[in-house]
Structure formats: structure tokens, C-alpha cells
């Protein structure tokens, strides 16, 4: 693959003629009536501006275009195809890994203070290009610009946070019996492969690259074949900021070719995966067969518990944000709404009223609050699960129709699902335990605290949850009782790179953030040094006397 055509890593995104690169106050980004700004033509323009030589793997600081079957890219807001790229196949994955092995040798030997300085420069560079990254992400994925702007800023923050840890990866001095000086040091795995999902490609690329890089590993990010563009640009910017060749590569391609090759190659020291339970299990099995450990961040079916003594207005705002932000395409979405019976009807009405006010529209319009489902297969799945929830007894409260502004515009062919609230989603309903991954919430009533906790835990997932109550003691008791890796009290969906994040059960294992993530991406090495000369190991080897 190294002989394929390449494009320079510092190619700028956008030109004055590129509407997708326009500032937020220009018509291309701000006019809700300009539905063409989310069309395939605009996405194509953004793509061509960023990668004039075509899309391919980012390897050794350059784009290398593959030669396999073409993988199409589709504009989620309109359903139109706007581009594609050749799948590089296993040969391409091999070239990326060979580069990463070389990069790991250089990066792992780099002074940690120098690594910290380079990562600080990556953070600064990403911050400088945050608007460019946000527009590129929105144009090519269909995520609302208001969301991608926040995510681009968070990626800069991730690299800045772990830059602060890069020169603080230390070991222990351990007292042991006898005349020994014994200590440990943390050593990197070498090459870390991060497989990231389509719902937040830019955010998860940063989330899964910054910590292993700080620990001294080379990273290969394999983004979803549906949404590879922003990850490639992030890698280019990181290389421009000073990361050596091979230290941050991107392996675009299909899961069955590139993904399968990356997760079963013994040159890989660790695999991190974000995605569905089924795919995560396949990745873990393939990696285990090659002796590769994994960090898995999988799905969730999180319960949002509301007691009668809660501030209901504030809780309703939180419930709407919990499931409808990002069009529900979030592993921590609060997709189960459990409400104390005495306020159940009132609270469902509050949520329904708020859901009806949410603005759907052109993703590049800063006023848009809810975007489309990012992929056609997921769009079909979401609609199928809504119908299943109704068949199982759920009553549709909102989401029956799309706004006329969508159905009467160029956006009509997109993957749009209106914010949907189903009430009466009882334990026998499919939506009680099945992750939808769309803007769909199922509500039901409970009578006692014990019942609420039991319902919250009646799932194989264990990723997140929340409780809304004015009783401090109850809040802490429920937080302790619900089996979830992240839990909020009178809030929902806030996460930060400094705080551990991960799940229990089918939601995965390992933690991908916080200081502990450095332990995920290093291994302890014990060193024994005798402080006095040792005696002969066998009597026959003694030469005294």
C-alpha cells in the first residue's frame, strides 16, 4: 500500500468556494431553509476540500488510497450518496500495522517529557482547527453542528488532559524479604488498535487515542466505514503537530477485511472497541485467539428514575436531553423512563411537551437540535423497534409525524426519526431491554423505591443511569444500588475525560478515561536487584574453604 498515491498530511480543509467550510454566520451554515447545505453536493465539497487526492488509510503521515471494492458514503440528512473510498483489505491493514510497529519503537523510546510537549501541541492544533473539524464532521455524518462544535472542543481537551499525564507514568518500590531492591515500571503495549463507531467518530477517535499515546503506545484507529472522514483529518493534524510517522495511523475499510485483520494480528498489543454487544463479542473472541487483551465499551439500556419529590421541570429537561440529544445515538442514552406513579401522568406530559418543541433540520444550521439517524441500516432498525414497542403494548405519545419543514424539503429522503415517547412500556415490552440507539424513550410507572431499582437492574446492560429526587439519602442509596458504571443524581449525560467511563455486564469491561486508563494501556514490569552478593544456588557450587 505504501506505493499507492498519497496526499500531503497538511492539506487544508475547505477553500473560499467550499460552503461546508464557511463560518457559522454564513447562509451555508445558518439558514434553516438552505436544505442544500446538508445535501450530497455539500458533503462532496467538504470531502474534496479535505482530501483532494481521495480517501484512504493515513499511514506514515500520508494518505494511501487502497485498491479494493468501493465503500460508499451517504449523506444521512438526504439519503444521497456523496462519495466513497476503496477498501484497502488485509494488505492495507498489514501496511498500517507495519508502520505502527515502527512508530511504537520510536514513540516508546521518546522521553516522556517530550511526549507530553508534543501532545500539548496536538491539543493546541486541534483547538485551532476545531471549527474546521466540526463543520467537516457535520457535513459528512449529518450530526448537528451544535453537537460537533462541542465534540471538537472536547477532543482538544482530551489531548491536553493526557499530555499532563504523559510524564507522570510511574512505578512502585516494593519491599520484599531478603537483600533486594525491587521496583516496577509501567511499559506500553506497543501498538494499540482502537475500533470506533459511526455515531461520534471524531469524539471517540480522540477518546481512544489520547490515553494510549500518553502512555507511549502507537495507535491505529479503525473508524466505521460509514464515517471515516473526521478521524483521518484528526490524524493529519496530530501528525502536523509533531507526532512521528506511524504513531497515529488510521485504517479505513470494512470490518470483515481491515477490522478482522487488525484484531487478530499478534503485532497488536491491545484492542479497544466501542460498538454493539454482538460485534464486541466477536472482536473479543478474535483478539483472545491471538492473545490480545481488550477494552470493550458496548451498549446500554439506561434507566432514568424520577421520584415524586424531584424538581419535575428540571427532571423533564434532563429526560429530554438524556435520550433526544444526538438523536438518541448514544450508548448512555436514558432510554428507559421510570416515574413514580403519583406524578407519572404529569411528568410524561412535561416530557412530551418538550420533545414536540425540539428543532429537526439541516445539520449545518446551528439552530438544529436533533439530526438524522446516521446510517440507513440503523434507521431501519429504529423504526422496526418503535413498531415492536407499540405491538408490545406501548402507547405512542410523540413522534408520529415529522415536521412539515422536513417532509416538504430536500431533506425528505434522509434518515429522520422524530423524538418518540412511548408510555406504558412494561417489563414484557421489547423496548424494556433492547437498545434502540435512536430518539426513542419508553416510560412506565413504579410504586416503590425497591421496584424502581429492580426495574433498573432488570437488564444485561450496566452502563449508566440516573435518579431525580429531593431526598439526599435516597439519591445516594439508589446510586449505590443500581448496577451501572456511571450514575448521575439530578443530572444526566455529563462525562469528562478525567473521570473513569465504562460498564458492567453486556456494557463491556475496562475503563477508557480518567487516570486509570493509563493502566489499561501499560503493563507493570517488575525489576529485582540484589543489594548483597547472593550465596551459591546449590551446595555443590560452593567454593568456600
- Smallest Cα–Cα separation from 441: which of 350, 336, 371? 336
Query: Which residue has 499530555 as its cell numbers?
Result: 163
In the 8-state DSSP scheme, what is residue 506?
A: G
Q: Give the Cα-Cα-Cα angle 205, 211, 216 (nearest 5 degrees).
A: 115
Q: Are 73 and 48 in contact (CB under 8 A)?
A: no
pTM exceeding 0.85: yes
Query: Which residue has 421489547 as its cell numbers?
Result: 430
Distance CA 106, CA 247 (A): 8
Give all strands (DSSP E) within 69-172, no chain letters.
Answer: 70-74, 81-86
Per-residue pLDDT of the chain (545 residues; tens, 9 = 90+): 333 333 333 333 332 223 233 333 332 333 333 444 456 788 899 999 999 999 999 999 999 999 999 999 999 999 999 999 999 999 999 999 999 999 999 999 999 999 999 999 999 999 999 999 999 999 999 999 999 999 999 999 999 999 999 999 999 999 999 999 999 999 999 999 999 999 999 999 999 999 999 999 999 999 999 999 999 999 999 999 999 999 999 999 999 999 999 999 999 999 999 999 999 999 999 999 999 999 999 999 999 999 999 999 999 999 999 999 999 999 999 999 999 999 999 999 999 999 999 999 999 999 999 999 999 999 999 999 999 999 999 999 999 889 888 888 889 999 999 999 999 999 999 999 999 999 999 999 999 999 999 999 999 999 999 999 999 999 999 999 999 999 999 999 999 999 999 999 999 999 999 999 999 999 999 999 999 887 788 888 876 55
Report the chain's C-alpha Rg in angstroms: 25
Catalytic residue numbers read 222, 297, 331, 435
Q: Are 477 and 450 in contact (CB under 8 A)?
A: no
Query: From the centroid of its chain, how far is CA 228?
Result: 13
Q: Which three cell numbers stand for residue 69?
A: 471494492
Amino acid at each position: 500500500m505504501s506505493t499507492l498515491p498519497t496526499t500531503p498530511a497538511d492539506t487544508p480543509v475547505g477553500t473560499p468556494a467550499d460552503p461546508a467550510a464557511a463560518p457559522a454566520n454564513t447562509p451555508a451554515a445558518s439558514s434553516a431553509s438552505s436544505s442544500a447545505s446538508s445535501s450530497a453536493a455539500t458533503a462532496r465539497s467538504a470531502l474534496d476540500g479535505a482530501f483532494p487526492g481521495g480517501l484512504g488509510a493515513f499511514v506514515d503521515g500520508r494518505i494511501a488510497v487502497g485498491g479494493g471494492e468501493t465503500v460508499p458514503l451517504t449523506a444521512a440528512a438526504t439519503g444521497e450518496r456523496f462519495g466513497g473510498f476503496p477498501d484497502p483489505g488485509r494488505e492495507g491493514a498489514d501496511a498500517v500495522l507495519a508502520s505502527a510497529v515502527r512508530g511504537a519503537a520510536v514513540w516508546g523510546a521518546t522521553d516522556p517529557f517530550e511526549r507530553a510537549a508534543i501532545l500539548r501541541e496536538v491539543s493546541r492544533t486541534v483547538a485551532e482547527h476545531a471549527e474546521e473539524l466540526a463543520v467537516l464532521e457535520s457535513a459528512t455524518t449529518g450530526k448537528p453542528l451544535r453537537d460537533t462544535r462541542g465534540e471538537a472542543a472536547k477532543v482538544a481537551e482530551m489531548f491536553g488532559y493526557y499530555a499532563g499525564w504523559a510524564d507522570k507514568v510511574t512505578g512502585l518500590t516494593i519491599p520484599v524479604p531478603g537483600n533486594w531492591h525491587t521496583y516496577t515500571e509501567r511499559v506500553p503495549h506497543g501498538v494499540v488498535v482502537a475500533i470506533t463507531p459511526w455515531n461520534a467518530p471524531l469524539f471517540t477517535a480522540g477518546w481512544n487515542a489520547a490515553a494510549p499515546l500518553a502512555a507511549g503506545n502507537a495507535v491505529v484507529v479503525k473508524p466505521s466505514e460509514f464515517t471515516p472522514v473526521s478521524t483521518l483529518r484528526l490524524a493529519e493534524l496530530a501528525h502536523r503537530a509533531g507526532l512521528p510517522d506511524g504513531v497515529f495511523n488510521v485504517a479505513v475499510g470494512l470490518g470483515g477485511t481491515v477490522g478482522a485483520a487488525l484484531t487478530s494480528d499478534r503485532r497488536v498489543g491491545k484492542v479497544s472497541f466501542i460498538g454493539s454487544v454482538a460485534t464486541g463479542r466477536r472482536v473479543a473472541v478474535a483478539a483472545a485467539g491471538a492473545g490480545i487483551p481488550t477494552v470493550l465499551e458496548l451498549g446500554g439500556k439506561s434507566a432514568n428514575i424520577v421520584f415524586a419529590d424531584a424538581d419535575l421541570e428540571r427532571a423533564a429537561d434532563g429526560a429530554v436531553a438524556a435520550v433526544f440529544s444526538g438523536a438518541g445515538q448514544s450508548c448512555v442514552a436514558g432510554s428507559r423512563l421510570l416515574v413514580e406513579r403519583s406524578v407519572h401522568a404529569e411528568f410524561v406530559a412535561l416530557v412530551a411537551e418538550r420533545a414536540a418543541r425540539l428543532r429537526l433540520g439541516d445539520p449545518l444550521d446551528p439552530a438544529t437540535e436533533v439530526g438524522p439517524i446516521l446510517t440507513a441500516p440503523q434507521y431501519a432498525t429504529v423504526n422496526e423497534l418503535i413498531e415492536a414497542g407499540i405491538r408490545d403494548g406501548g402507547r405512542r405519545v410523540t413522534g408520529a409525524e415529522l415536521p412539515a419543514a422536513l417532509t416538504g424539503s430536500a431533506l425528505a429522503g434522509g434518515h429522520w426519526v422524530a423524538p418518540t415517547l412511548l408510555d406504558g412500556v412494561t417489563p414484557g415490552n421489547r423496548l424494556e431491554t433492547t437498545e434502540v440507539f435512536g430518539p426513542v424513550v419508553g416510560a412506565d410507572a413504579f410504586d416503590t423505591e425497591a421496584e424502581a431499582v429492580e426495574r433498573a437492574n432488570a437488564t444485561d446492560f450496566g452502563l449508566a443511569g440516573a435518579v431525580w429526587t429531593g431526598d439526599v439519602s435516597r439519591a445516594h442509596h439508589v446510586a449505590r444500588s443500581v448496577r451501572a458504571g456511571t450514575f448521575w443524581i439530578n443530572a444526566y449525560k455529563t462525562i469528562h475525560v478525567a473521570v473513569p467511563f465504562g460498564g458492567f455486564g453486556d456494557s463491556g469491561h475496562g475503563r477508557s478515561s480518567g487516570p486509570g486508563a493509563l493502566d489499561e494501556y501499560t503493563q507493570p514490569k517488575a525489576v529485582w536487584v540484589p543489594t548483597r552478593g547472593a550465596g551459591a544456588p546449590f551446595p555443590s557450587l560452593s567454593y568456600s574453604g
